[in-house]
Amino acid sequence: MSDQLVVRALASAEDAQQAFCCMAEVPTPWPEALQLCRAWIGQNLGRHIAGYHALDESGAVIGQLYYAPADQALVPYEIEDGVTVIYCEWVQRRHQGVGVARRLFATLEADAREQGSKGIMVEGTEREEFMHYRHYLARGFQVIHEAGDRKLLYLPLHQPRAWARPLAPRLQPRRGVPVEILILTGYLCPFETAAQLLLLDVAREFGDKVIVRQEPLTRATLERYGVASGIFINGRRKLTGAASEEEIRQAIREEM
């Protein structure tokens, strides 16, 4: 790891314009989605999101770690106040394995301790390429809840245990026309935002047979729907990530 590496807290809308270095390793195929996500961070910095960027010797962002305090975190869990909740970590592939992620996390852990955080929680996955839970086990986290390929983990700082439970989804599945589509627009991930934007274009092809409702992801909508992300068609989570136009059309047709 280069001695020139700098880890810096996000402090301004200008910092937000360098967010999501995961989308900057190669020219992103989703520039509109990336811009929406960066704008969302700028608007919500210090409330629903905070974070750190790792910068190389040229000042380019090569790593990211985004988080929020539990009482403001937009995650599908009820978590007791005073806990720090990680949203996302990423280090560009060509810089992985040299300690960048370790520096980012050490900065968060030190700041959280200083601020009196009870501990740190994160939802890990079983996907090797994204937030794999074993990375957190190696840092001393323990799994406190798991469902499917998702695991909620906790690292104690000032409190050995912290209370948390998953929200219960409150969307009622149905079938038939008009097909109702719900998009929760939190803009926490360009990958998911790209699918949302494409869906809006495809849905217009179906005219009045499809009704699209967009709602901003807030603490209120978390409580109302019990979910924090995804595209819901007739109450079912149907699409995540960068779906193709034909995949979107097929998902809509299945509900007709």
Q: What does the pLDDT look like over 150-175, one tens digit per residue?
A: 999 999 999 999 999 999 999 999 98
Quick check: is 44 in a domain? Answer: yes
Asked if residue 56 and residue 120 are part of one domain, the reply reads: yes
Helix axes 190-204, 31-44, angle to 10 degrees: 120
Domains of the chain: total: 2
Domain boundary among 166, 193, 224: 166
Q: Give the pLDDT score at 2.
A: 55
Number of helices and strands in the chain (H, E): 7, 13
Q: Give the pLDDT score at 158.
A: 98
Asked if residue 198 and residue 160 are part of one domain, the reply reads: no
More confident residue, 96 or 2: 96
CA torsion through residues 59, 60, 62, 63, sign:
positive
Domain boundary among 103, 136, 166: 166
Give residue 129's domain range. Answer: 6-166
CA torsion through residues 69, 225, 200, 194, sign:
positive
Contact at 8 Å (CB) between 94 and 108? Answer: no
Quick check: is 1 in a domain? Answer: no
CA distance 139 to 131: 13
- Is the pLDDT score of 1 beyond 70? no
Asked if residue 235 and residue 117 are part of one domain, the reply reads: no
The backbone torsions φ and ψ at residue 85, rounded to the nearest 5 degrees and listed phi first, read -120, 120
Quick check: is 133 in a domain? Answer: yes
Asked if residue 35 and residue 142 are part of one domain, the reply reads: yes
Confidence (pTM): 0.94
Asked if residue 157 and residue 184 are part of one domain, the reply reads: no
- What is the pLDDT confidence band of residue 11, given thresholds at 50, 70 and 90? very high
Candidates 180, 176, 189; CA nearest to 228 is 189
- Is the pLDDT score of 56 beyond 80? yes
